[in-house]
Amino acid sequence: MLVERIKKLMGWCPMAVKEEKKEFEANSSFGYELKHRGFRILFASAHLVIGIGLLLNVLYVIKNMPWFPGWMMEVDITASMLLSIIALFSIFIAFDIIGSDEAKKVLSLTSLIIILLLFVYLAGWTANTSFSLLQSLQFNYTFTMQTLILFTLIIAVPNLLNLLRKGSYRIERKTGIILILILILVPAVFASLGYHINLQKSKLLIEKGEEYEIYHAAHYWGPPAVVFVDSDKWSSGSAVSPKEYDALKFLKGLEDGKVMAWWDFGLRIKALAKKEAVIYYGSEEIKRTIARPGNKNYEPAEKVRDVATFFTTSNEDEAKAIMEKYEAAYVYFPKNMYLFNAMKFASGLNTEYENSMYHRFENNLDMEYFEKLYENEYAVIYRLKI
């Protein structure tokens, strides 16, 4: 049976029914062959390439899927599930398994609905970093909006063309069975995968707070880490390196007081240093500086602007005033993170790096209102002088 299908795709009367064979024998003109056989081969080949290509990509992503941050695993599983359904429909259409043009139109229509759902879902997880289409597919479906639109069109066009062909939409018994099996079994398989991984993750859990979880660092993408801090509330999970872990433990041992830090580090400060940070998210007006947000929580624009101004201003008196405004006692500053331009954009200031507070903290320069309490290769911690 499979051999016959492959023969059809290779040119031996592809996707043809018995009645068409007689017609081909009676009319063998080049135009007729191109119209009735060439287009069928083209459509079938497009569906086959898309189907096999998507399945191979799904296997690649699932094989290399990180467990942390949690939202990334969610994207991988959900997008892979939808792509698997689309791929199976494409393969069924390519091999003419149902053998009915009306049934194939039903499969194409269903596939287009799934493609639309995929687009809407991934549109909420687009990235600002530029990737090629292949990189976007393989790197945890990290699409920009442009590459997502391109990808959607590529997998949708063969189905759209199939809908333009003459014929009705008739769901035969065989078609219905195939639809039900694919739409039930594929989600069930991926749900089982998600359950299995979450069960394994639970064994790595170190501490569960109201707004975060701390795990042993395993199955995540990135450099070696001591722990992984994850949360559904914050913008993304955070792998914590050994040196950063040491800095946060030192911060934890200090007297109570709020911590002035960029929003990227708020979750780690709360979970590991047990201190309140001034901000935990970016603001909506700077969302384009967030590489790939895990949720849509935002801090008030003024608050984020003030924190950005604290680091980018050239006026130490202004920095001191911002610390007092938010009742902050400490400054937590990870070094060599290249965040100055993002902070400069958020503050709206035109300060040069060499004149900024950012430069003074990063290079441990003497300051009138701030004293250094701790420093290692990763971070420096200051306290506002009383």
pLDDT given at position 161: 87
Give the pLDDT score at 15.
Answer: 44
Q: What is the pLDDT along the chain (386 residues), one digit of tens a residue?
A: 555 554 454 444 444 444 555 554 555 444 544 455 556 677 788 899 999 999 999 999 999 999 988 888 999 999 999 999 999 999 988 887 666 677 788 889 999 999 999 999 999 888 877 788 999 999 999 999 999 999 999 999 999 988 887 666 666 677 788 889 999 999 999 999 999 999 999 999 999 988 899 999 988 878 889 999 988 776 667 899 999 999 999 999 999 999 999 998 999 999 999 999 999 888 878 777 776 655 667 888 999 999 999 999 999 999 999 999 999 999 999 998 889 998 999 999 999 999 999 999 999 898 999 999 999 999 999 999 97
Distances (CA, A) of 3 to 7, 17, 94, 95, 341: 6, 16, 14, 10, 60
Contact 148, 122 (CB under 8 A): yes
**pLDDT of 86-101, one tens digit each?**
999 999 888 876 666 7
Side-chain half-sphere of 226: how many Cα atoms within 13 Å?
12
User: What is the model's pLDDT at position 38?
Assistant: 56
* DSSP 3-state percent helix, strand, coil across the chain (nearest 5): 60, 10, 30
CA–CA distance, 74 with 69 (Å, rounded to integer):
9
